[in-house]
Every structure is written in C-alpha cells, then in structure tokens.
Structure 1
Amino acid sequence: MADARLALASLFVSILMLSMAHPFFACPTRCESEIKMQMYLHQVVSGPTHNQEVVFKSTPTIEFGRTVAFDYTLLDAPTPDAKIIGRAKGTHVQADQVNAGDFSHFSMIFQQGRFTGSTFQVMGMTPPNGVWAIVGGTNELAMAQGIIQFAIVKGTPNVESYRELNITAFIPTVSIATGSFVQYFDI
C-alpha cells in the first residue's frame, strides 16, 4: 500500500514539474491573444505618386506571369491626408490563366503605435474583395496566424484604390526564447 502511495505521489510531482517546465501543460486553454484591427491600404497604380512598379511584363495578349513590386501605405482612414500606420511591401504575380487573379505575398510593417517595428506576413489571391491569410509575424506579432478581410471602398480603376482591411489575428502568449508567459493587451 505504501509503495502505491509513493508511486502515485511521484507521478503527481512529475506531472506538476512537467507542467511548470513546458507551456503546453501549463495552459489548459488557448494560450494566445486575439487582435482585431481596421486600416486602409492605399494603392496608387499610375501617376507621379505611384507606389507599385511592373518588374516583369508578359506578352501583350495575356497578363499571365506579370509581376509587380509594391510599397503601399497603410492608413487610418481612406483619404489622402490620413495618418500613415505602416507599409505593405511585397509583390503581386498574375497567377491565374483564366481570370485576372494576382497572387500577393507581402509584409505589413507597422510604423506607429504599440506594434511599431512588428510585422505580419501575408499571402493570398487579390480580387477586388476577398481574404488574405496571415501566415506569420515578427516582434510583438511573432508567429501570428489569422485573416485579413478586404474590400475596395474608394478609388478610380487603374489609377488608385483604398482597400478597407479588417484584421483578425491570434498571437501566442508564450515567449519562444524563454518559454515564459508574456502578457498581451487588446488594442
């Protein structure tokens, strides 16, 4: 009987020690914070203030393969005088042979507020309205996962547009370097 109690006590102490050493065991529910943001992506296709450039042009009859590099501004409102929150830097590649469908992959680099210097890594198809995947992040947004729902809310075709971005992301609350818990706050 004493051996059974000793074995049970040893098992309990082992589980307790393991739960303190490994975040998986220490967190009975989701160990992440949800972040919601809204902002506007300003795309200027042509003109003196354009913020994209065709770096590879395909044949005149099809656009398939056309590649565009961009450095779009992220704003707090869909107006030219809005505050710049950050930048979206990356490329679009015309990857659809049937429809006009660009595949986009880019970094959203925040320049203002709590997330200054942090990034989201984003990818997905870019119709006028749709959803991109957040597949990672850095600094305070490290290992982010989520989605960005977007829709053009203002613009002139082939000149410029403003896309409203509604972001929902989940950020782990465990520090990768130390295994310790980090407190995140809602925006």
Structure 2
Amino acid sequence: MRGNEALATGMASLLLFFSSMPICQAQLGLGEPKVSCFDSYLHDLHVAKKPTSVTVAKANTANALPTLFGEVVVIDDPLTEGPKLTSKVIGQAQGLYAFTSQTELSLFESHNLVFTDGKFKGSTLIVMGRNLVPLKVRELSIIGGTRAFRLAHGYGVKQTYSNDTTTLNAIEHYNVTVIHY
C-alpha cells in the first residue's frame, strides 16, 4: 500500500508541475513559441590526427561482438554548415554515446549541440535518444536547451552522409526541428 501512496504523490506533483508551465511561461515573459529548423553536418572522427570521438570505456567482450556492446565514447564533434570538414563551423556536438545492444548496432546518445557561430551563437540544445545506426534515417529527441532554446522540445533527424568502416569516421547530416521560446 505504501508504494501506491508514493506513486500517487509523485503523479500529483508531476501533474501540478506540468499544469503550471503555461503560467510560468507567461510570468517569465517568454511570449509565443517559435519553431526553428536547421541543417548541419556532424563530423565524428574516431581515427584522425585530432580525434573528435574517443573511447573511454570498453567491456572485455566488446570486441567479440559485431555490435561493440559495452563500449562508451565521448564526443566533441564539429557541426558544420556543409558536409566537408573545411565548411564553416557553427558549433560542436559534445556528449557521449554508448553501444547498448547485443544483437544490433544501436547507440544510446546524449549530447549538447553547442552553437558557437550564427543566429543561435551562445545557445545549446540537449539531444537524447536511441540511434539504430543501420537505419537510413534515425530520429533523436530534443529535450531542452538554453538561451534562444529555452524550454525547447523537438527532434533531430540523422542520416549518414559518409562512413569509413576501417577508421570508424563518419559524417552525419543533421536536420533539427525545435519548438522554443
């Protein structure tokens, strides 16, 4: 019985929190929500003169499985306007991904898109979700942000632009749609 009371109290608290969000938005003077869409390219360079992704943990069995289950990688990948690494850099994708499936090439990703140039300079977006790598199109959730992206929510669609399986270097086309205040 005690568990049900705790669950009811927790649910009531969440309901109160989410029902008060429109009031808080009005009090903060955030105005009406905006929708922003943008394209960029994420360069995940595992083997390079200056790597942008580094393995920081690896289970003893990770190399025995084709899915690399148990490997954790930290990233500081450049976001560029175009697919070439020499394209204008507009930010960084900073965070991590972990290989989380024993049967398929699947990642759990959690990273910040940190904008260092352009319209959203100084703002961040928080991205999280499952990335089933073999799929042509993968979708991740936008779960928050800062500055221009306060109270952000939305999604990012990733498509592999190029992938070198010998070096594990990849370029992904990143299309983001976000609602923010």
Q: Are residues 32 and 65 of structure 1, via their aligned partners in 2, closer, same or farther at CA, if it must alter by over 3 Å?
A: same
Match of 1:102 among 98, 103, 107: 107
Contact 1:130/1:151, CA 8 A, preserved across alignment: yes
Partner residue, 1:71 = 76
- 1:46 and 1:158 in contact (8 A); partners too: no
Provide Cα deviations, 1:59-105, integer angstroms capped at 9, x if missing partner. 23243221111100000000121000000000111111221211000
Query: 1:43 aligns to what?
Result: 44
Aligned to 1:118: 123
**Which residue pairs with 2:6 in the alignment?**
none
Aligned to 2:58: 57
Q: CA deviation at 1:40?
A: 0.5
Q: Is the 8 A contact 1:102 1:127 kept in 2?
A: yes
Q: Give secondary structure in 2 for the equivalent of 1:140.
A: helix
Residue number in structure 1 paired with 2:13? none
Q: Partner letter of residue 176 of structure 2? A: I
Distance across 2 between alignment mates of 1:25 and 1:80: 42
Return the letter of the residue paired with 1:163.
E
CA distance, structure 1, for counterparts of residue 25 and residue 50 of structure 2: 49
Please point out which of 141, 145, 164 is paired with 1:137: 145
Paired residue secondary structure (1:67): strand
Are residues 1:163 and 2:164 paired? no
The CA distance in 2 between the partners of 1:165 and 1:83, in whole Å, is 15
Q: Deviations over 1:90-144 (max 9, x none)?
A: 0111111221211000000000012111000001122333001000000111111
Deviates more, 1:40-49 or 1:78-87: 40-49
Larger radius of gyration, structure 1 or 2?
Answer: 1
Give the SS at the match of 2:148.
Answer: helix
Superposition CA RMSD, Å: 2.0
Give 1:156 shift.
1.7
Alignment-mate amino acid for residue 154 of structure 1: S
Q: CA deviation at 1:24?
A: 7.4
AA matched with 2:141: A
Q: How many residues align?
A: 148
Identity %: 24
Aligned counterparts of 1:45 and 1:91: Cα–Cα separation in 2: 13
Name the aligned partner's letter for residue 169 of structure 1: V
Question: TM-score w.r.t. structure 2 length?
Answer: 0.75
